[in-house]
Copies of this chain bind each other. A is one copy, B any other.
Amino acid sequence: MKRKLRSKLGRSTTDKIFVRGYDLTEDLLGKVSLGDVAFLELMGRLPSPPESIMFNALVVTLVEHGLTPSAIAARLTYFGAPESLQGAVAAGLLGMGDRFGGSIEQAAKLLQEVPAGEDVRVAAQRIVESHRAAKSVIPGLGHPIHKPADPRTVRLFALAAENGLSGRHVELMEAVGSEATAAYGRALPVNATGAIAAIASDMGIPWNVCRGLAVMARAIGLVAHVQEEMGEPTAAEIWLRVDTEAQEEQG
């Protein structure tokens, strides 16, 4: 027997529109912010005030990072296809994969897979050991630019504590950072990715949707990059620099 098609996310009648069971015009418009509706969409309920502050802070962190590969790809795409703002944003989002948005997912998976009863210090040592043995990078640690500490981590962890949302996963992530720093003999503090993964985990957001936090936030930033590209184009200049250098190499 075939399964039924359905979605709990949205439905409409002639005079009503529902989002996750809430009446859009009665319950949401004018009352609830975009970030809170994002929380509602993912979690099936509206956030409490502390959850709202924290969730908005997590996604706000991910909106804008300047001329990153994603932003450059979006701008180059807009240059070739100015009829399609959505295509430029989509091209930029396609780079939010394993290396970028994916690292939040990987860190959250690591934290959420620690058994409930395991001692935090023991778990942290085990995680660091297994990554060292496999010579693989521990997600959520270190940063090429922000040293000694990632300013976002400091602020996000403080907000989590203030709002009563700092729990076992934040504790674990910090323990992984200090164990790794000891084991590798160099500073490996928790970066913004690790902080977001840990707090999201403490808020009950499943690891397999954590990459989605980066995707939804960056969509906003990429719309702004396309808007800026309309007025102050960079794509032709980027192409020129790349092409000039590459042609010289081949000459």
- Which of A's residues lie within 8 Å of B, judged by CB? 2-12, 14-17, 19-20, 24-25, 28-30, 32-38, 41-42, 52-53, 56-57, 59-61, 63-73, 76-77, 79-91, 93-102, 145-147, 151-152, 154-156, 159, 162, 206, 208-209, 211-212, 215-217, 219-221, 223-228, 230, 232-235, 237-243, 245-247, 249-250
**Shortest beta-carbon distance from A237 to chain B in Å:** 5
Cβ contact within 8 Å between A30 and B57 = yes
**Within 8 Å CB of A224, what residues of B?**
9, 41-42
A contacts with B: majority SS: helix
How far does the alpha carbon of A100 sit from the alpha carbon of B226 in the complex, in Å? 18
**Within 8 Å CB of A241, what residues of B?**
5, 241-242
**Within 8 Å CB of A87, what residues of B?**
81, 84, 86-87, 90, 94-95, 97
Question: Can you show 24 pairs from A to B with CB atoms below 8 A apart?
Answer: A7-B66, A7-B225, A9-B228, A10-B65, A20-B64, A24-B61, A25-B154, A34-B60, A41-B63, A69-B76, A69-B239, A79-B99, A82-B98, A84-B84, A85-B209, A86-B95, A88-B94, A89-B93, A90-B90, A209-B227, A212-B226, A215-B223, A219-B220, A241-B241
- Total identical chains: 4
**Within 8 Å CB of A20, what residues of B?**
64
**Within 8 Å CB of A88, what residues of B?**
94
Cβ contact within 8 Å between B59 and A34 = yes
CB-CB under 8 A for A242 and B67, given A83-B83, A97-B87: yes
Cβ contact within 8 Å between A57 and B86 = no
**Within 8 Å CB of A69, what residues of B?**
76-77, 79-80, 235, 238-239
CB-CB under 8 A for A29 and B152, given A101-B86, A237-B2: yes
